[in-house]
Structure 1
């Protein structure tokens, strides 16, 4: 790892832990709740404690004035829910374009176990090679997805995060295995910091319990999109998540301090 990568990892995290809010879903889902006025959402989540936000390169002009001096990550591949196969992520940008867009890091999605795994692995490897030359960290979004693959199986998740390390990523995001004990195996499968995805939105308590479980299992934080940017109060839920990740709060304390404890 280079000095540049270390320095930029500091820009997207806090003392080695990460609260990242991906908002690249506009290309996947369209302009859903929280993404139409993405400027306000970015302002809210970064005021609430998010270390970094993540978008596709074309949204960069809408990010910088609203991110409250927090980090910025540009995502480099995508697919849509109305296309022929959502798992078939295709390149949408390059490391050089991300740098020109003011990114502190880049991210790349790979579905381990899918029919597209071989091509996505090769593409991720090329991304990490280029990013290393420029001193830019790579967040690999390495999911266990494909025919016959259980997306919450700790063995499959452990394989996915190890693949990310093997091809040169600096940070890895994956699914949550469901409990702290099984997630510990996932974390121990790599030396990379492991952050969890959020998936579709649940209740506030479910979200914070998942974050607490991941941290108890040795995780380094979260990279949650819809659970945060689609919330009625993105700042409050970001505050609760940050309280667990950065301040080691309990579920009840995180909900109380964010003002979300009265949720029914």
Structure 2
């Protein structure tokens, strides 16, 4: 690992643990809650303890003044929810463009098991080669998605995260299998730091318990979007998630310390 790559990894993590908040959903879902006033959301979650935020390159100028010295990741592909196939992620930027936008790292999404897997594997490999030549870390978002694929099956997820390591990524994001016992198999499949996706927003208790379960299974953190940026109090839910990841708090204590009411 080069000095530059190691230094940039430190900018998007704390002590090898990751609380990344992806907010690239403006391409996928449009101007949804939490993304219209992007500046306020970025300010709240970075004050709340996020290590890094993640967006597409075009909104970088709206991020930098409000991220309170935290890390910035630029995502390099995407698709829309109204298009013909949301699994068909297409390139939206280059590593060089990400650096010009002030990125500390880049990310790239692949859907293992989809019809688009072959092209996405090639593109991820190309992104990693370019990024590492420039000393930039790559967060691979490697999901098990496609016809007949169970997106939460531990064996499929283990395969997905191993692919990210085989291609040379530095951190890998994938879905949570649903419980610590099965997710341990996913974490054991790679030596990369594994971070979990949040998926669609659940209750605060569900979010905290999912994060706690993933950490108990050996995860290195989360890359959690809608559960944080669409929350009524993004700063508070970030504090709760941060307490679990960075302070090893249990779910109930984290929710209580963040000032969130526990749902019935």
Q: Same fold (TM over 0.5)?
A: yes
Matches within 5 A, 1:1-12: 1-12=1-12
Gap regions ≥5 residues in structure 2: none
Rounded to whole Å, the distance in 1 between the matches of 2:186 and 2:4 is 27
Matches within 5 A, 1:166-245: 166-245=166-245
Partner of 2:89: 89
Dislocated runs of 4+, deviation >3 Å: 261-264
| Alignment partners' CA distance in 1, 2:30 and 2:261 | 31
Q: Is contact 1:18–1:245 with CA below 8 Å preserved after alignment? A: yes
Gaps of 5+ in 1: none
Partner of 2:50: 50
Q: Deviations over 1:103-141 (max 9, x none)?
A: 000000000000000000000000000000000000000
Q: Deviations over 1:26-53 (max 9, x none)?
A: 0100000000000000000000000000
- Compute the displacement of 1:262 (Å): 3.9
**Tell me, what secondary structure is at the counterpart of 2:15?**
coil
Q: C-alpha distance in 1, partners of 2:123/2:150?
A: 24
C-alpha displacement at 1:5, in angstroms? 1.1
Report the CA distance between 1:261 and its aligned residue.
Answer: 3.3
Q: How many residues align?
A: 264
Residue 233 (structure 1) shift: 0.1
CA contact (8 A) 1:252 1:261 kept: no
Map of 2:19 onto structure 1: 19
- 1:204/1:237 contact within 8 Å kept: yes
Question: d(CA) in 2 for partners of 1:262 and 1:206?
Answer: 10
CA contact (8 A) 1:221 1:245 kept: yes
SS of 1:66 mapped into structure 2: coil
- TM-score after normalising by structure 1: 0.99
TM-score by length of 2: 0.99
SS at match of 1:254: helix
Q: CA deviation at 1:188?
A: 0.6
